[in-house]
Amino acid sequence: MPNYLAPIDLEDDSLSEMVIQKTVEMATGVKDARIYLMTVIPGITPGIDQRYAIRGEMHGSTDYPLQEWKDEAARDMQKIANAHVPKEMQAGVVVENGTVYREIVEAAKDLKIDHIVMGAHRPSLADFLLGPNSARVARHAGCSVTVVRE
């Protein structure tokens, strides 16, 4: 049974829709193909208030409701799956927390994914120096990776 993983960014509807559309297109006609939708909540250093961490400040401390965020993201992902992935292809939704490319590579390994389809923005100079998530996933994944450009 071929398994596809479509990591999407819940904050980027346009690119996410393109990724899902491409994944469904690739899986169509493949016997018993299954699609997992995935999103990653970026990691925040424990003990640092996420409002400060986002601004790059390292003071302030409150607990952040990670499980609530994951549950909300899972509900949103399931709605997206129901709207865009044929029922017979739906394998599930995955919501992780951490470094985006690492979580995608680990999920692909754990779920025995045969093909990852993910989006990429046009690279900036910083991306060439640091490496965008899609490039890192392509380098480290143990399966084929298709990158969809906006």
DSSP per-residue string spanning 84-136? HS-GGGEEEEEEEEE-HHHHHHHHHHHTT-SEEEEEEPPP-HHHHHH--HHHH
The pLDDT value given to residue 61: 46
The reply to whether the predicted model has a pTM over 0.75 is yes
- The domain limits of the chain are 3-149
With CA atoms as reference, report the closest residue to 103 among 148, 149, 141, 132.
141
> What is the per-residue pLDDT across 36-93, written as a single tens digit (0 to 9) for each?
999 999 876 555 555 555 555 544 445 678 889 999 999 999 999 999 999 999 999 9
- Which of the two residues, 43 and 12, has the higher pLDDT score? 12
Residue 130 confidence (pLDDT) above 50: no
Q: What number does CATH give the domain 3-149? A: 3.40.50.620
At position 33, the amino acid (one-letter code) is: A
Instruction: Name the 3-class secondary structure at 48.
Output: coil
CA triplet 74, 80, 83: central angle to 5 degrees? 140
